[in-house]
Structure 1
Amino acid sequence: MDGEVLGLAHNVADVAEFLRRAGLEIDPAEVVEAPWIDWRGVGPERWGPEN
């Protein structure tokens, strides 16, 4: 927010937890398919630096 990192997700479950804390109950499987999430880079199936 305004250039400040508010959280760092390491997997889809982390994203679901951030959303839960913001008031949205969502299953991690739904996070992957949510059309309102803009995955930047490689997407929800891959995390961390490329090999």
Structure 2
Amino acid sequence: MAMAPIVVHPPLGMGGRRARACGRVIDLAYSDVDVIEFLRRAGLPDAEELLDDPWWVKWRGGRAYHHEAA
């Protein structure tokens, strides 16, 4: 499978998760709302429905939806 458009990395020690799009860091996600916004910026209007779809969002390390400090 090709790389998902949004890759969400493990929680950082200060909280939040680094998010990448097309291999570039785009921002830190402090909640699912942030990840949904990243998907919307990528042109996906039904972003809320895509959080569980590994084709669109790849959660790396840590639990999906967990954004607190590691």
TM-score by length of 1: 0.65
Structure 2: gaps spanning 5 or more residues: 1-23
Structure number with higher helix proportion: 1
Ranges of 4+ aligned residues in structure 1 off by more than 3 Å = none
Structure number with higher strand proportion: 2
Identity of aligned residues (%): 40
| Higher Rg of the two aligned structures | 1
Other structure's SS at 1:6 match: strand
Work out the number of aligned pairs and report it.
45
Pairwise CA distance, 1:43? 2.5
Distance in 2 separating the partners of 1:14 and 1:6? 11
The structure with higher relative contact order (CA 8 Å, sep 6+) is 2
TM-score by length of 2: 0.52
Structure 1: gaps spanning 5 or more residues: none
Q: Alignment RMSD, CA only?
A: 1.7
